[in-house]
Amino acid sequence: MKSMLRIAVAFFAAILASTGYAQGDFKVTLLGTASPTPRPDRFGPSTLVEAGDQKLLFDAGRGVPIRLRQIGVPIGRLDVLFITHYHSDHVSGIPDVWLTGWLAPPYGRRTSPFRVIGPVGAKALMENLQRAYALDVKIRLEDEKLPPEGAAVAAEEFDKDGVVYEKNGVKVTAFAVEHGAAIKPAVGYRVDYKGRSVTLSGDTRYDENVVKHASGTDLLIHEVGAARPELLAASVPMQRIIAHHTTPREAGQVFSRAKPKLAVYAHIVLLSSEKIAEPTLDDVVAETRQTYAGPLVVGEDLMSFEIGDTVSVKPYKK
């Protein structure tokens, strides 16, 4: 009897231990997975990482407040926004996140400064946004009596690889990536929490630094750029765009070397012209499969991932 009890206790302890992580303790949600192309099904690039009670946003493309509303995360609850680089599709949602997150309804209510961390350029961007929206802030302070601290901005910037954020067991490391000679700075990030990790490539071509920092990571969130060969043969501007991104075949090489538990395409740049269609997502996967045989998912807006003993994937259900 005693031994049966011991077995039962051990059994339930094992269940608790195995589910301790799995219950939303470390979670990623893709808020936007598009390129700059305006489309209703994919919003601008942005990823939410939730670790313990912290909510970290990586890039803020078009439509972030709408996506946060869909998953019931108040904009005002975000702890920090991390910026990968300054292409407009990655930052155009910032004023919306900053100012709508300050409003009085439950989706807002930020009462402390909006914290932003990015490579050099973050301070200038945020100072200029504060100038651009000065009248809105003044009006709402006077008219709606919103708390002034909630409209304030705390921007930090860095100029080399290293830890850029550390709080209650959550560590964020930034690393330089190669997005093109004229597109600097550009960085990726790795988030470490309780022995598990999520790595975001940012926008980059094939880069050894991504392999290095993503090595052994649980979830590798990677960009990808693809075009049909006939389009590339016909267009120098298209060749230039593709040269700023990682092709599916190259991404497969990154995944094969970094060996994540799961790789996901989360910023999908598909080129087309009036005459030549963009490649399909099946084409992208097939080309990736030439260099990578491991776990791979093509991301969609609001797809989420639990980083537990394994990495589980959940498509969004309304």
Q: Residues interacting with Zn ion, by CB under 5 A?
A: 87, 203
Classified as helix, coil or strand, 158 is strand
Identify which of residues 51 and 226 has a Cβ nearer to Zn ion in the complex: 226
Nearest distance in Å: CB 160, Zn ion: 20
Cβ–Cβ under 8 Å, residues 29 and 48: yes
98: how many CB neighbours lie within 10 A of its CB? 26
Identify which of residues 27 and 85 has a Cβ nearer to Zn ion in the complex: 85
Token pair for 73: 């995360």
Identify which of residues 87 and 228 has a Cβ nearer to Zn ion in the complex: 87
Nearest distance in Å: CB 19, Zn ion: 36
Nearest distance in Å: CB 14, Zn ion: 43
Q: What angle do CA 199, 25, 196 make, to 5 degrees?
A: 35
Nearest distance in Å: CB 210, Zn ion: 14
Beta-carbon contacts of residue 235 (< 8 Å; ≥ 6 apart): 273
Cβ–Cβ under 8 Å, residues 222 and 106: no
Nearest distance in Å: CB 34, Zn ion: 9
Cβ-count burial of 317 within 10 angstroms (0-12 exposed, 13-18 middle, 19+ buried)? exposed
Nearest distance in Å: CB 186, Zn ion: 7
Nearest Cα residue to 266 out of 27, 40, 29:
29
Nearest distance in Å: CB 176, Zn ion: 14
Identify which of residues 1 and 182 has a Cβ nearer to Zn ion in the complex: 182
DSSP track, 69-111: HHTT--GGG--EEE--B--HHHHTTHHHHHHHTTSSSTT----
Identify which of residues 150 and 185 has a Cβ nearer to Zn ion in the complex: 185
CA pair distance 29, 72, nearest whole angstrom: 12
Token pair for 98: 């900053």
Identify which of residues 213 and 245 has a Cβ nearer to Zn ion in the complex: 245
Identify which of residues 188 and 252 has a Cβ nearer to Zn ion in the complex: 188
Nearest distance in Å: CB 85, Zn ion: 6
Looking up tokens 């219950």 gives: 23
Identify which of residues 50 and 203 has a Cβ nearer to Zn ion in the complex: 203
φ/ψ of residue 96, rounded to 5: -65, -45
